[in-house]
Amino acid sequence: MNVDLSHLRKDFPIFERRIGDHPNHFLDSAASSQKPIQVLEAMDRFARTNYANVHRGAYRLSVEATEAYEAARRRAASFIDASSPDEVVLCRGATTALNMVAHGWGGEHLRPGDRILLTLMEHHANVVPWQMVARRTGARLDHVPLTDEYHLDLEALERMLDDDVKVVAVTGMSNVLGTIPPIDRVVEAAHSVGAVTVVDGAQLVPHLGVNVRTLGADFVAFSAHKMLGPTGIGVLWGKMERLEEMEPFEGGGEMISDVQLHHATWAAIPHRFEAGTPPIIEAVGLTAALDYLDEVGMDNVAAHDRELTAYALSRLAEIPDVTVYGPPTVEGRGGVISFTLGDVHPHDLATILDERGVSVRAGHHCAKPLMRNLGVPATARASFYLYNTLEDVDALVDGLERAAALFGT
Ligand code: PLP
């Protein structure tokens, strides 16, 4: 299905800006997405007319702010089809959400000899918290490998599962390879040995959406800033029975029921996981972003991604010396394309592309274990979202052809 979303570009003020003499070919949405005017205006309006701290005041502004904050929780719950808004913990972003699960669930339940299964393509946000918890608890980390075509090796996963595996934490979409593992099969296999499943949805949720009820996982984490919303807010969704098993990762105001001199008791879920003043204006931005995405339709977002990815893969294949690190076709992959051009350093590539208004990221993309496995220190990475066009891909390819000529690859 081809969908035309080009009319949406006018909603994004950043595209009025030129980069030097060139249109703004922004191809770095996997790092952070641009924001539509609807999100910017909703936050601005709220800050000007309704702002106060939440959950504290009996006065009107605070009541309104609390209602707006709790409306964001309900909105996030409906976006992912959660059974209840109480299963939605609002937090700083995917990194905080994954730390909450690793420390708050893993730290409580893991014992020496238990195993935590990750995959070789995890972002550091789904690696380092588990390393910290493994060190604390004596649990062991193992990593599911990839196939030659950069898909998750499901047979290896099944072989690695045994009764000692207590956690399987996997990305919903790799921020380097674009690989989308079949999460339903991962969850089914993990649950067959009684393991808790954690999905890093930082890339998955913005691009394909997620229905947490049909997905079946125990926890899903994602960030608003990668899905048209502001920085500083994200979601940890957990099944209620798992959240009940989790200890708060942070203590402070708002998360307590009572505090004595030597001990405290916790507020109800989800508030016990939201210590301190939460991101209030950002919550309003999250609501507006989810409204915008639902208005466009996540099926359309996914179809548009697929079209751009197929086109980019075929155009990149025309350039000799381009190596793409990721599944070769759109099957089982999303709109994140990592590549190298001969032995040109990815930072040099990014600089040359920038001179033509094309913004791509270069580096290890916070996935150093994966980069080592790929045998490269860095790649360049182009990533798409609903405001990108075929012309953006053409500008990328033109820039790469120019770099190839310059460096004589
Ligand atoms: N997981 C993946 C796959 C990501 O791509 C990212 C960010 O790039 C994160 C986790 C961390 O997200 P955040 O920096 O918003 O916490």
Task: Express each pLDDT in 277-292 by its tens digit.
Answer: 999 999 999 999 999 9
> H or E segment at 82?
none
For ligand 1, which residues put their CB under 6 angstroms from it?
30-31, 93-95, 123, 125-126, 171, 175, 200, 202-203, 223, 225
Q: What ranges make up the beta strands (E) of 106-151?
A: 115-119, 140-144
For residue 95, what are the contacts with CB-CB under 8 A and spacing of at least 6?
A: 125, 223
Pick from 15, 42, 4: which is nearest to 291 by CA?
Answer: 42
Q: pLDDT value at position 56?
A: 76
Q: pLDDT value at position 57?
A: 77
Q: Which atom of ligand 1 is nearest to the CA of 93?
A: 16
Residue among 99, 183, 203 to mutate when testing ligand 1 (max atoms within 8 A of CB): 203
**Could you tell me the distance, in angstroms and rounded to a whole number, from the CA of residue 125 to the centre of ligand 1?**
6
Query: Mean pLDDT by 10-residue block, N- to C-terminus, for the chain (409 residues)?
Result: 83 97 97 98 98 90 97 98 98 98 98 98 98 98 98 98 98 98 98 98 98 97 98 98 97 96 97 98 98 97 97 97 97 97 96 97 95 95 98 98 89
Q: What is the pLDDT of residues 200-232, one digit of tens each?
A: 999 999 999 999 999 999 999 999 999 999 999
Residue whose structure tokens are 């060139």: 22
Euclidean distance between CA atoms 391 and 301, whole angstroms: 17
What b/e readout covers 45-66, taking b as 16+ CB neighbours within 10 angstroms?
Answer: ebeeebbeebbeeeeeebebbb
Residue whose structure tokens are 């592309």: 353
Euclidean distance between CA atoms 169 and 370, whole angstroms: 15
Euclidean distance between CA atoms 88 and 234, whole angstroms: 10
Under 8 Å between Cβ of 360 and 393: no
**Could you tell me the distance, in angstroms and rounded to a whole number, from the CA of residue 202 to the centre of ligand 1?**
5
Pick from 223, 212, 213: which is nearest to 99 by CA?
Answer: 223
**Could you tell me the distance, in angstroms and rounded to a whole number, from the CA of residue 97 to the centre of ligand 1?**
10
Pick from 178, 207, 219, 243: which is nearest to 94 by CA?
Answer: 219
Question: Domain 41-294 maps to which CATH number in 3.40.640.10, 3.40.50.150, 3.10.20.30, 3.90.1300.10?
Answer: 3.40.640.10
Residue with CA nearest ligand 1 atom 12? 94
What b/e readout covers 286-309, taking b as 16+ CB neighbours within 10 angstroms?
Answer: bbbbbbbbeebebebbbebbbbbb
Largest Cα separation within the chain, whole Å, is 71
Residue among 207, 223, 231, 282 to mutate when testing ligand 1 (max atoms within 8 A of CB): 223
Euclidean distance between CA atoms 232 and 244, whole angstroms: 25
Q: Which atom of ligand 1 is nearest to the CA of 173?
A: 3
**Could you tell me the distance, in angstroms and rounded to a whole number, from the CA of residue 343 to the centre of ligand 1?**
28
CATH class of 6-30+297-407: alpha beta
Euclidean distance between CA atoms 94 and 223, whole angstroms: 5
Q: pLDDT value at position 3?
A: 79
| Number of CB atoms found within 10 A of residue 17's CB | 11
Q: Where are the domains of the chain?
A: 6-30+297-407, 41-294
Euclidean distance between CA atoms 16 and 36, whole angstroms: 12
Residue with CA nearest ligand 1 atom 5? 175
The separation between CA 315 and the C-alpha centre of its own chain, rounded to angstroms, equals: 27
Euclidean distance between CA atoms 253 and 276, whole angstroms: 5
**Could you tell me the distance, in angstroms and rounded to a whole number, from the CA of residue 184 to the centre of ligand 1?**
21
Q: pLDDT value at position 1?
A: 56
Decide whether 6-30+297-407 matches 41-294 in CATH topology: no
Residue with CA nearest ligand 1 atom 6? 202
Q: Which atom of ligand 1 is nearest to the CA of 174?
A: 3
Euclidean distance between CA atoms 203 and 156, whole angstroms: 24
Euclidean distance between CA atoms 265 and 355, whole angstroms: 57
Measure CA of the first residue to CA of the last residue in the chain; give whole Å: 36
**Could you tell me the distance, in angstroms and rounded to a whole number, from the CA of residue 201 to the centre of ligand 1?**
8
* pTM attached to this predicted model: 0.97
Q: Which atom of ligand 1 is nearest to the CA of 92?
A: 16
Residues with catalytic roles: 366
Q: pLDDT value at position 408?
A: 81
Torsion sign (Cα): 138, 365, 227, 382: negative
C-alpha distances (whole Å) from 151 to each of 29, 66, 147, 167, 197 are 22, 44, 5, 20, 19
